[in-house]
Amino acid sequence: MLRQVEARLLEAVDDGEVLKLAREMVRIPSENPPGRVADMARYVLSFLEGLGVVARTVEPEPGRVNVLASLGSGSGRAGLVFNGHLDVVPAGPGWTVDPYGGMVQGGRLWGRGSADMKGGLAAILGAVAALVRAKVAFERPVALMFTCDEETGGKLGAGYLVRNGYVSGDMCVVCEPSGLRLIHAEGGLCWMTITTHGRSAHSVLAWRGVNAVEKMVQVLSALAPLQRELGAVRNASGKRVVLSANVIRGGVKVNQVPDACEALLDLRIPAGVDLSAEQVLDRIRAVLADLKMRDPELRVELSHGDPVTPFEVPPDAPVIGLVKEAYRDVTGQECAPWSPREDPPTDDSDLYHLWTAGGIPGVYFGPGEIEQAHVADEFVEIEQLRQAARIYALLAYRTCAKGGGVA
């Protein structure tokens, strides 16, 4: 139940401001690749500094900018960390609205990143503004981290910040789109590249060359039985393992036998499955070795990024109960749990770095439906932005403010 000071805090959340923030950020392209988010970082930094919040940037590589800030002057570990990423996936084709127009229609904000996750960023900033306006006095810091590089694994974003000691805390909220349902576990993944090498020739003399594209067809066909076998492996809720070849590149000209071809594959392993990425990689290596034995002309290589291991934050972690209480007191309803053991289509947020590398227990909880992420005509419900900003403000107050902290 809300105390009077908490009710006053929620009144300080400005719905118009939250929507304005989200619209303006949608209008700032920050596609990854290529991953340059400097304009978004400047926007966030400017807003925080306008509130009098001390903020700074960390830039591991040119254009890959992270923004860090803190509410409260206490030192040491933060009582609570809010996380959101500045980058979005490329808009791509198929849109019926301007992906960077920030259109508001039908109670929704439309555009690339509206759900994933500039709506979540706006809710964080709206909550921060309310806490500042309400003159909340903090006993422990509330840390804010706005990261680059999440859409390509987070190595220069959350991974870099956690591993280099920029962020520590007792608990965290990763404000990714979950429909304001609670996620505290994620599946694993591994991105891999298969490259076939051939020998170039003019197409009228094709028999003198070795066609790398045809060799890739041979490789992918040989992997199809493994793909079907993995697809039959499911966790208790029925979510399946996925090995999907999603990008293929090969050839230069229509009249030239290609000497190289590259395929990019995405492996997803849901939580609750007794299978590792390394086991799948070993199976792929065995398939490729068998092919090379049967085809002396086949030259093929497999490379991959760092595998992400499935994980689960303990269900009794205090952050889970605190988020549920804040949700209930803002919405009047119970917060629905949504775990990858039950079937959310998500596997690779910054929560992985914060928990597995930083030891910060947390939840994945934010406005927007995950089904809207990475699709054309992406949108977020404005009502969820409004609710999220209030839940975040209340959570920060309850975890980090001094008693009676509203002046």
H-run or E-run covering 172: strand 172-174
d(CA 176, CA 180): 9
Domain boundaries, the chain: 4-186+311-400, 188-304
d(CA 267, CA 143): 33
Architecture of the CATH domain 4-186+311-400: 3-Layer(aba) Sandwich (3.40)
Closest CA to 173 of 66, 86, 78, 82: 82
pLDDT at 347: 53
d(CA 407, CA 400): 15
Q: What is the pTM of this model?
A: 0.83
DSSP for 240-284, please give it. Answer: BPEEEEEEEEE-S-TTEE-SEEEEEEEEEE-TT-S--HHHHHHHH
Architecture of the CATH domain 188-304: 2-Layer Sandwich (3.30)
Q: Are the folds of 4-186+311-400 and 188-304 the same?
A: no
pLDDT at 341: 45
pLDDT at 351: 92
pLDDT at 188: 87
pLDDT along the chain (407 residues), means of 10: 92 98 98 96 98 97 97 83 98 97 98 98 98 95 97 94 96 96 88 97 96 98 98 87 96 97 95 90 98 97 90 91 97 81 57 92 95 96 98 97 59
pLDDT at 272: 82
Question: Is the N-terminal amide bond of 33 cis, ω within 30° of 0?
Answer: yes
